Structure 1
Amino acid sequence: MHKLNFWSSSSDNGQASGQDDEGSLKIPLETLGLHTLYEPKDKNITMDIVAVHGLGGDSFSTWTDKASGCLWLRDLLPQQEALKGARIMTFGYDARAFLRPFEKSTTGRTFTFAEALLFDLSNARIDQEQARSRPLVFVGHSLGGNVIKSALVGANNQQNLYGDILKSTQCLIFFGTPHQGADAAVWGTYLGNLAQGIGIRSTEVTQELMRWSNPLVELRVNFAQLAPRYLIRTFFETRKKYNVLVVPEMSARFGTDNDQAVGLDADHLDICKFGNGKTPNASRVLQTFAAVSKLMEARIESAGASSLEERLEALRRSA
């Protein structure tokens, strides 16, 4: 197992430092963009898995248990028989943009991050026709889940550029991602909880973060038409972080009949960190990945059979 050394936004006693809130969320430049964590040695890739972090994290530390250094996306997922053919990637963006004055964040809106994700992922899948049609699984933590949803909305709007990503996406797996909220006030409450949950004490910074409520309401509406086509799995936190339950169960549930949701015994930041594969949380998550992999395979086979039947029927009609 590889040992990672990464920044921490908390002091040694486990309490948030509260000093220079934007500066305390130090995002190492080398974590930005798309990084491959695992690729089958024989290059026989059967699916792509892409993880996207949220506020207060980065493309590596969000998914890494600090005590053991276990980056489970790399160290545990490939051990699952159903996932040995998966290429596993992690995407990083500068989430500090959410904390800057709203008017100055023209390069830091949710879709800007989503557009960068689409751009990088498209380039990573362009080497051959088979790669562009390879099944896709997106994994999001916290606001990272909303970056994923924004990317899929963007792909739907720009199908000439990213239609293959839209069509290839089969499954969305969310950790502590807020989905519910029909108005800005609900999202404002969540964003305020998020600020408290990652240790931000500055009232001004918290208020700036809460101004992202309206764009998130709009995203919820725009993504609703796409949601039914995916396998959706959501994990919600059951422990408080800094005395707040950042994303309550009702907000974390997607609320559609294609969503399976379950709680994990963890807080908002530790919900996607596992030191080994034997804990109840890790076992539940790993089993979910293995299960959706098999469901995806069945869906693809079914779609292929249906497509063949449609082509044969068209030939019969034209005869």
Structure 2
Amino acid sequence: MFQKTPALLLDQADRQEWELPVRGLEEPLILDTHFLGLTPLNDIQSENHEFDCIAISGLASHPFGSWQPKGKDKGFMWIRDALPRALPMMRAILYGYDTTLIRSNSFQTIGDLASSLVNHIKANGWYLADSKRLVFLAHSLGGIVLKEAFWMMANGDSQGQRILDRFLGGIFFGVPSHGMEASHLLAMVRGQVNEEFVDALSSSSKYLRLLDDHFAGLISTRDMHFRWAFETKTSPTVAVSAQLSPCF
């Protein structure tokens, strides 16, 4: 994080990724603000490292910013700054994926997003016998993607089965397991290729209820422990301004 934004980022504010040549290195350093894929947030001594925690953000959110408090002061991010201090044996990792709503040309399905998550987990070796145990923090759509990823691995190859054996459990924050009121979101994406994707999250979605049944059956047969956190007060919903920029 920068106290003052570097000129490079200000001059090319429309970009999300930069390659920075460094003398003595064969490959450039890559700086990005999109946080796509897996991003570790802390280092940990190997002798103290017991498990990894992967945090998955929700619909139309930023993989890093969605875990920060509201307001102008963005110096604190609890998964990076508080969680490793509370659990010094844990490595915190973000998983970022594209769930942009406005002006999106993505036709990814929930299955596509889940498959990408599974591929990232496999590519980072969590199917190996000496890999660390895994826990998850999942918000909103992130929980749906995680459930689908679990179901894919349960019905997939031996690597997926071994990864499932590494899971300890996790916490779901506001995950719409039986759907959500999506009329305001559908109004935002009307006519876009991602309209069907948003419709799959609605309260009338048979897919979500079937997925929840599959997931409940899966975790009941394995040594996994999950907790659900949910709001008990109403909060502002997504709105669209005249410039079509989402505000929360």
TM-score, normalised via structure 1 length = 0.56
Cα deviation 1:106-158 (Å, max 9, x = unaligned): xx111211121121122223596311xx2210110001011111111111111
Q: Are the counterparts in 2 of residues 33 and 93 from structure 1 also a CA contact under 8 Å?
A: yes
Gaps of 5+ in 2: 6-15, 18-31, 239-246
- In structure 1, C-alpha distance between the alignment counterparts of 2:163 and 2:33, rounded to whole Å: 26
The structure that is helix-richer by fraction is 1
Aligned to 1:173: 171
Q: Are the counterparts in 2 of residues 111 and 147 from structure 1 also a CA contact under 8 Å?
A: yes
Aligned to 2:199: 210
In structure 2, the CA distance between the partners of 1:157 and 1:139, relative to structure 1 (3 Å rule), is same
Please give the secondary structure, in 2, of the residue aligned with 1:34.
Answer: strand
How many residues end up aligned between the 2 structures?
Answer: 207
Q: Report whether the alignment pairs 1:45 with 2:46.
A: no
- In structure 2, C-alpha distance between the alignment counterparts of 1:216 and 1:56, rounded to whole Å: 19
Q: Report whether the alignment pairs 1:145 with 2:139.
A: no
Identity %: 28
Q: Are the counterparts in 2 of residues 113 and 147 from structure 1 also a CA contact under 8 Å?
A: yes
Please give the secondary structure, in 2, of the residue aligned with 1:115.
Answer: helix
Aligned to 2:80: 74
Aligned pair partner of 2:226 in 220, 232, 236 = 232
Aligned alpha-carbon RMSD (Å): 3.5
- In structure 2, C-alpha distance between the alignment counterparts of 1:117 and 1:217, rounded to whole Å: 21
Aligned to 1:112: 112
- In structure 2, C-alpha distance between the alignment counterparts of 1:164 and 1:142, rounded to whole Å: 26
- In structure 2, C-alpha distance between the alignment counterparts of 1:5 and 1:176, rounded to whole Å: 34
Cα deviation 1:11-63 (Å, max 9, x = unaligned): xxxxxxxxxxxxxxx99773111111123134632001011111121211111
Q: Which amino acid in 2 is paired with 1:216?
A: L
Shift of the alpha carbon at 1:3? Answer: 6.0
Cα deviation 1:281-308 (Å, max 9, x = unaligned): xxxxxxxxxxxxxxxxxxxxxxxxxxxx
- In structure 2, C-alpha distance between the alignment counterparts of 1:91 and 1:77, rounded to whole Å: 16
Aligned to 1:191: 182
Aligned to 2:98: 94
In structure 2, the CA distance between the partners of 1:109 and 1:243, relative to structure 1 (3 Å rule), is closer
In structure 2, the CA distance between the partners of 1:202 and 1:113, relative to structure 1 (3 Å rule), is closer
Q: Report whether the alignment pairs 1:221 with 2:213.
A: yes
- In structure 2, C-alpha distance between the alignment counterparts of 1:221 and 1:140, rounded to whole Å: 18
Gaps of 5+ in 1: 7-25, 182-186, 245-268, 271-319
In structure 2, the CA distance between the partners of 1:226 and 1:97, relative to structure 1 (3 Å rule), is farther
Shift of the alpha carbon at 1:214? Answer: 4.1
Shift of the alpha carbon at 1:236? Answer: 0.7
Aligned to 1:154: 152
Q: Are the counterparts in 2 of residues 39 and 45 from structure 1 also a CA contact under 8 Å?
A: no
Q: Are the counterparts in 1 of residues 102 and 189 from structure 2 also a CA contact under 8 Å?
A: no
Q: Are the counterparts in 1 of residues 101 and 188 from structure 2 also a CA contact under 8 Å?
A: no
Q: Are the counterparts in 2 of residues 39 and 86 from structure 1 also a CA contact under 8 Å?
A: no
Please give the secondary structure, in 1, of the residue aligned with 2:158.
Answer: helix
Q: Are the counterparts in 2 of residues 34 and 92 from structure 1 also a CA contact under 8 Å?
A: yes
Shift of the alpha carbon at 1:76? Answer: 0.2
- In structure 1, C-alpha distance between the alignment counterparts of 2:195 and 2:215, rounded to whole Å: 26
Aligned to 2:26: none
